[in-house]
Amino acid sequence: MSTPSLELIRRLESNVARVLVGKPEVVRLAVIGLLARGHLLIEDVPGVGKTTLAHALARSLGATFQRIQFTSDLLPSDILGVSIYDAKTGEFAFKPGPLFSNIVLADEINRTTPKTQSSLLEAMNEFQVSLDHHTYPLPRPFMVLATQNPLEYAGTHPLPESQLDRFLLKIRIGYPGRSGEKEILRGAGVVPLGQLEPVLSADEVMDLQAATEKVRVEESLLDYVMGIVEATRRSPLLTLGVSPRGSLALLRAAQAHAMADGREYVVPDDIKQLAVPALAHRVIVKARLERPGGAEVEAEAVIDGLVQEVPVPR
């Protein structure tokens, strides 16, 4: 791959890392989501930096950014926009909602009603909004960063599988390391979010996305992806295996991983490392294995176990 591309990616990563201290692997996953034209679901306990990550990524790109705080009374029109009667022209004029931005932060997405959640479906999948017999294209690049809290379930509406399937990766941030957290406490070197400068233009992001699609995937690696996906479909531990959309997501994410690693070709490690973030949220673990609130953890463990079993191409 060309050096400038790698340089751009490194610049983006280091910019985000200025705010999200001590979590380079999470920053890498967020960048992968961006390069692969995917959407991210960031799930973790409050206060670990979910919103900060989304915000930092958005600010690092010279792109429009909107944050939508999802609440139980939020309506689809609040995010998509509405048509308002214009008395002067005598016609209905469309007023785009906050979704019409390059980066959309859907904060606490599981707090809103399924109706509002599903209004995001078309936008996430087809990069457009259909309203009142009109279709409005969304600006490019377009990326949804959604966050949710896995612990507080009271008054929440868990995302349905169909919606989960539309997220390329599900990321867990986790607590920072001891030294990292001390650094945060110290406040030295941590840049306030507001001071973050954009390091990548929207056009550069689109170029990087186009380059990602060209990353070479050797034939046997397709078999490897299929091997993993089929293992989830056969596994007695899972009720629902990975869909073809899921296998495609894994491949795209692997290409982006290779790109972020400075390679023009995918290696088995790209696929293996991304299997959990790309697939775990797409499967349903058998009920007897579920612990209250621990289904997601179980899914990750199952996928991880399966991946270790699938033979790697040589």
Binding site for another protein (CB under 8 A): 216, 218, 221, 263-269, 272, 307-314
Q: Tokens for 127?
A: 């990069």
Q: Which residue has the tokens 């078999």?
A: 223
Contact 55, 162 (CB under 8 A): no
Specify the residue, 230 or 264, whose C-beta has the smaller distance to another protein: 264
Specify the residue, 182 or 214, whose C-beta has the smaller distance to another protein: 214
Rounded to a whole number of angstroms, the minimum distance from the CB of residue 42 to another protein is: 27
Specify the residue, 244 or 311, whose C-beta has the smaller distance to another protein: 311
Helix, strand, coil percentages in the chain from 3-state DSSP, rounded to 5: 50, 15, 35
Contact 302, 235 (CB under 8 A): yes
SS3 label, residue 80: helix
Specify the residue, 79 or 242, whose C-beta has the smaller distance to another protein: 242
Rounded to a whole number of angstroms, the minimum distance from the CB of residue 255 to another protein is: 12
Specify the residue, 25 or 126, whose C-beta has the smaller distance to another protein: 25
Specify the residue, 57 or 275, whose C-beta has the smaller distance to another protein: 275
Rounded to a whole number of angstroms, the minimum distance from the CB of residue 237 to another protein is: 16
Rounded to a whole number of angstroms, the minimum distance from the CB of residue 279 to another protein is: 15
- The H or E element containing residue 79 is helix 76-80
Q: Tokens for 29?
A: 């996953």
Q: How many Å apart are CA 255 and CA 248, to the nearest integer?
A: 11
Rounded to a whole number of angstroms, the minimum distance from the CB of residue 273 to another protein is: 9
Specify the residue, 122 or 264, whose C-beta has the smaller distance to another protein: 264
Q: Order of strands across the sheet with 65-69?
A: 65-69, 103-107, 143-148, 40-43, 169-171
Rounded to a whole number of angstroms, the minimum distance from the CB of residue 272 to another protein is: 6
Rounded to a whole number of angstroms, the minimum distance from the CB of residue 312 to another protein is: 5
Q: For residue 235, what is the DSSP state? A: -
Q: How many Å apart are CA 114 and CA 136, to the nearest integer?
A: 22
Contact 63, 103 (CB under 8 A): yes
Specify the residue, 1 or 21, whose C-beta has the smaller distance to another protein: 1
Specify the residue, 49 or 268, whose C-beta has the smaller distance to another protein: 268
For 196, residues 6+ apart whose C-beta sits below 8 A from its C-beta are 15, 18, 19, 56, 59, 60
Rounded to a whole number of angstroms, the minimum distance from the CB of residue 313 to another protein is: 8
Contact 268, 224 (CB under 8 A): yes
Q: How many Å apart are CA 108 and CA 42, to the nearest integer?
A: 10
- Would strands 238-240 and 284-285 be described as parallel, antiparallel, or unpaired? antiparallel
Residue 122: which region, alpha, beta or left (left: phi > 0; alpha: psi -120 to 50)? alpha
Rounded to a whole number of angstroms, the minimum distance from the CB of residue 26 to another protein is: 21
